[in-house]
Homo-oligomer: A and B are copies of this chain.
Amino acid sequence: VEEPDAASAQQAETLAGVSADDLAVLQHWRVLQSGFRRLTTLLLTDVEAKVGVAPSSLQVLCLLLEAPQRAAPMYQLAQTLGFSTAGATKVADRLTEAGLIERRTCPSDRRMVYATLTERGLEVATAGASALAEALAKRVIEPLGAGQFESISAAIGSLGSNVA
């Protein structure tokens, strides 16, 4: 957008109006993002090798495994997945199709639909959870250490709360 004409330019504008500091930040962000992506696909490849289950389905199964009654309403699935409610519906469709969950309408509030683990769903969920935990242990906790892993989780998890 502009060119350094004065001697006092300080290299504030390196590439067409983007400062050197900004470029450094962007670079770190790119490393973080691609690293996270690689890591995620790596873990899911490990799990999918042992248990034939897709990424988002696995996430739902793990959630239900720890849920109060091994059941959770649809909008809660969407929330933890970071999906729209429409997306959660379709994940539930596939899990139902595969016979891993069942839908149950809540008696007290008949708008809500609870996704509940079937017997076979429970088996797959436990297998998947174990496989994922094992993969995490080898690929994340071993290289990084448990402390750093938890601190990173806490740090990233704390972000995104600020709306403004």
Chain A residues packing against B (C-beta within 8 Å)? 1, 15-19, 21-23, 25-42, 59, 62-63, 65-66, 80-82, 122, 125-126, 129-130, 132-133, 136-137, 139-141, 143-144, 148-150, 152-160, 162
> With contacts A35-B158, A156-B36, A157-B34 known, is A126 near B29, CB below 8 A?
no
> With contacts A126-B1, A155-B152 known, is A160 near B33, CB below 8 A?
no
- Are B82 and A32 interface neighbours, CB within 8 A? no
B contact residues around A21 at 8 Å (CB): 133
**Cα–Cα distance between A105 and B38 once the two chains are bound (Å):** 29
What are 8 A-B contacts with C-beta separation under 8 Å?
A15-B66, A15-B126, A21-B133, A25-B136, A26-B129, A32-B156, A35-B156, A38-B159
List the B residue with the shortest CB-CB distance to A16: B126
**Cα–Cα distance between A121 and B68 once the two chains are bound (Å):** 51
**Cα–Cα distance between A144 and B106 once the two chains are bound (Å):** 41
List the B residue with the shortest CB-CB distance to A134: B22
B contact residues around A132 at 8 Å (CB): 26, 29
B contact residues around A27 at 8 Å (CB): 66
> With contacts A30-B62, A62-B30 known, is A39 near B130, CB below 8 A?
no
